[in-house]
Structure 1
Amino acid sequence: MLKKCMGDPSIIIPIEDIGIKDRLSYEEIPVQILDRQVCKLRTKEVASVKVLWRNQFIEEATWETEEDMKKRYPYLFETGDIPYQGTNSLLSTLSVIS
């Protein structure tokens, strides 16, 4: 059975403050590059970077092509301190973060 609810206007948050788009979606923003690797194919090499996204844990970081990430998010590559291959670079990055 439904009960009558008395709304409290003081706890209503304006939609403008939240930043949700009309389609009720939001854009993930990359925070940091954790690792870099180069996959060698027969005729070419493909560089990939492991990207940490906002509002996600390190375990949920994804591998993206370096070329696409440089086009879309050039500010991630301006510092030049991208760790290279291996878990040791990831562990050193984690120690710097904490």
Structure 2
Amino acid sequence: MRFGRKEKLSLRYVGPYEILQCVGKVAYELALPVELASVNPIFHVSMLKKCLRDVTLILPLEGLGVDEDLSYVEVPVKILDIQFKRLRNKEIVTVNVLCRIHLVEGATWEGDADMRSRYPHIFSS
């Protein structure tokens, strides 16, 4: 169910909210916040969306160095691979960089010259 303005890019769902009890076969009572006190807390099952939480994707904020505006600086840790691409007249070197917060699957390809100028310490080993 949509709440608030009915525009093209408005949110389709709000929540997630806890299910308090099952009311009948296809209706559920939800624990809604105070802002939605004017809304009836009993919803038909077709108006609800299942919320799956993957606990492996939740990272603790303590050791990440997250700022007040929820941003952080990615610090490269290791070079995983080097790739040489030949264009017509020049050769472009890119490196696969593993950052401190990401997994190996999240490593990105960056330009070699840019990485050497910004982070020379990761090329020394």
| TM class by smaller structure | 0.5 to 0.7
CA-CA distance at 1:18 after TM superposition: 7.1
CA-CA distance at 1:22 after TM superposition: 3.8
Percentage of pairs with the same residue: 45
Alignment of 1:28-43 (within 5 A): 28-43=74-89
CA distance 1:18–1:52, shift in 2 (3 Å): closer
1:46 paired to 2:84: no
CA-CA distance at 1:43 after TM superposition: 1.2
| Equivalent pairs, count | 66
Distance in structure 1 (CA, Å) of the matches to 2:108 and 2:64: 26
**Higher fraction of helix:** 1
2:117 pairs with one of 57, 60, 71: 71
Residue 62 of structure 1 corresponds to 108
Larger Rg belongs to: 2
Under a length normalisation based on structure 2, what TM-score does the superposition of the two structures give? Answer: 0.47
Distance in structure 2 (CA, Å) of the matches to 1:73 and 1:57: 19
Query: What is the alpha-carbon root mean square deviation over aligned residues?
Result: 2.1
Q: Name the SS of the counterpart of 1:43 in structure 2.
A: coil
Distance in structure 2 (CA, Å) of the matches to 1:56 and 1:63: 13
Larger relative contact order (C-alpha < 8 A, sep ≥ 6)? 1
Consecutive unaligned residues of structure 1, counting only runs of 5 or more, are 4-16, 80-98
Residue 12 of structure 1 corresponds to none
Consecutive unaligned residues of structure 2, counting only runs of 5 or more, are 1-31, 35-62
